[in-house]
């Protein structure tokens, strides 16, 4: 092939192929022990790697140096799209420009991550809270580092290691795993767009070791539950956190469902909290019958937080009324009350309620389905899975009131125990 004098030389680094590539041939290509190439026309080839990935490449020599251009991964980038990218690169080279195009076309890690987050959230219909948590993790741990500001084609996999290792060394192993996953997915997204060849998953694999899964810590012994209820009532933090702590055992919602509650969801006259499906883990609307105790807590809180455009039931004290309470607030409050993470967590109120309600069900006359529905679990069995949350609503109203009265009786017993003088030894 003849190049353009003084501007760069186009050179195909392979024998002329007998026939151009086709989608059928690409789809039938299987990984081998070593990477191999499937050649197309005009220097374009598909690199088939042992791990099964198939990457578009175009090798060109310009200004006396050999350059390997990446056009993304198949099938995210089709054969037709790869050929278009090759032709555009050839045109730039013929015009005396860099075949890779302007550097501004390749985004920084932060820009690529924000684009990925926007696209994946829409395509996979992520809940707003899922998107927000991922965005905040990237902002907190990656975007504000030098790596976050570098263009993705200039980032080496090893540059992510100190970021993930620092999170893990701060005793936040679960967060380190999440950030590691986000980094890998962003870089794979960038590779699919032809911006980089780097996949950091292998390099980061041993940076943090997944912790052994454990059950959510919770108090289940009735005597200890009474002491916990007494401790919650004595918490000396802000009124918002006080209310959230005291309400949690009565409604036993997941911490995110509780702290992101909005006043329009709550009907205090009807004593109901209707949570829309997009805020629920299982994606289904959830109705929480409110006991007299729960209604009293919410009535006392409402004048403090239900103000105009701010409708969060539990707004964030640190950042103002435009955000809900932080995900770590309730666990932090429990620690200040003296409960270690191995004893009680905000999520543990659910386990506590599930255990004790199931122990009470035969004596009180409710069944396991009512308890599971109130926990917002989705039963895999089709018959039980069809259980409508409103079908046994009155039975569940009764259950929630009996549960609240039971908690109060345990707290009263704990208070009596605390006020009774101990006999001299």
| Residues annotated as catalytic (active site), given as ranges | 254, 281, 347, 350, 377, 387
Report the DSSP beta bridge partners of residue 66: 61
Neighbours of 82 (CB within 10 A): 25
**How far is Cα 185 from Cα 190, in angstroms, rounded to an integer?**
9
Residue 424 in tokens: 């001299």
Q: How many CB atoms lie within 10 A of CB 373?
A: 24
61: its two tokens: 């020599």
Q: What is the Cα–Cα distance from 379 to 372, expressed in whole angstroms? A: 8
- DSSP letter string over 71-135? EEEETTS-HHHHHHHHHHHHHHHHTTS-TT--GGGSPBHHHHHHHHHHHHHHHTT--HHHHHHHH
Task: Tally Cβ neighbours within 10 Å of residue 57.
Answer: 19
239-251 and 292-305 helices, crossing angle to 10°: 150
Give the H/E segment covering residue 368.
helix 368-374
* CA-based torsion, 261, 262, 264, 267: positive or negative: positive
**Angle separating helix axes 128-138 and 173-192, nearest 10 degrees:** 90
The first and second tokens of residue 159, run together, are 């540059």
DSSP 8-state assignment for residue 141: I
């Amino acid at each position: 092939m003849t190049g353009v004098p003084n501007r760069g030389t186009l050179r195909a680094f392979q024998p002329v192929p007998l026939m151009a590539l086709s989608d059928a041939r690409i789809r039938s290509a299987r990984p081998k022990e070593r990477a191999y190439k499937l050649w197309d026309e005009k220097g374009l080839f598909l690199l088939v790697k042992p791990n099964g990935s198939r990457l578009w490449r175009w090798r060109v020599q310009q200004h006396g140096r050999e350059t390997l251009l990446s056009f993304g991964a198949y099938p995210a980038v089709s054969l037709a799209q790869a050929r278009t990218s090759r032709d555009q690169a050839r045109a730039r080279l013929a015009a005396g420009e860099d075949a890779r195009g302007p550097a501004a076309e390749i985004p920084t890690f932060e820009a690529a991550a924000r684009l990925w987050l926007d696209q994946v959230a829409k395509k996979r219909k992520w809940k707003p809270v899922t998107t927000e948590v991922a965005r905040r993790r990237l902002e907190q741990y990656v975007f504000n580092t030098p790596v976050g500001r570098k263009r993705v084609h200039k980032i080496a996999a090893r540059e992510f290691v100190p970021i993930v290792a620092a999170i893990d060394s701060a005793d936040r192993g679960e967060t380190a795993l999440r950030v590691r996953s986000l980094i890998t997915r962003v870089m794979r997204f960038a590779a699919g767009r032809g911006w980089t060849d780097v996949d950091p998953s292998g390099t980061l694999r041993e940076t943090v070791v997944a912790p052994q899964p454990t059950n959510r810590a919770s108090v289940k012994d009735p005597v200890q539950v009474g002491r916990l209820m007494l401790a919650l009532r004595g918490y000396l933090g802000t009124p918002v956190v006080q209310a959230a702590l005291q309400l949690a055992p009565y409604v036993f919602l997941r911490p995110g469902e509780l702290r992101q509650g909005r006043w329009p969801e709550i009907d205090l006259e009807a004593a109901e909290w209707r949570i829309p499906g997009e805020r629920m883990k299982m994606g289904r609307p959830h109705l929480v019958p409110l006991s007299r105790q729960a209604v009293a807590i919410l009535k006392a809180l409402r004048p403090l937080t239900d103000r105009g455009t701010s409708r969060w039931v539990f707004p964030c004290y640190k950042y103002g009324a435009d955000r809900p309470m932080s995900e770590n607030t309730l666990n932090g409050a429990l620690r200040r009350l003296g409960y270690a993470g191995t004893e009680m967590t905000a999520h543990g109120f659910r386990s506590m309620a599930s255990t004790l309600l199931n122990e009470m069900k035969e004596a009180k006359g409710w069944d396991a389905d009512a308890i599971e529905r109130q926990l917002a679990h989705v039963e895999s069995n089709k018959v039980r899975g069809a259980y409508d949350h409103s079908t046994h609503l009155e039975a569940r109203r009764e259950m929630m009131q009996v549960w609240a009265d039971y908690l109060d009786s345990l707290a009263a017993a704990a208070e009596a125990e605390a006020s009774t003088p101990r006999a001299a030894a």
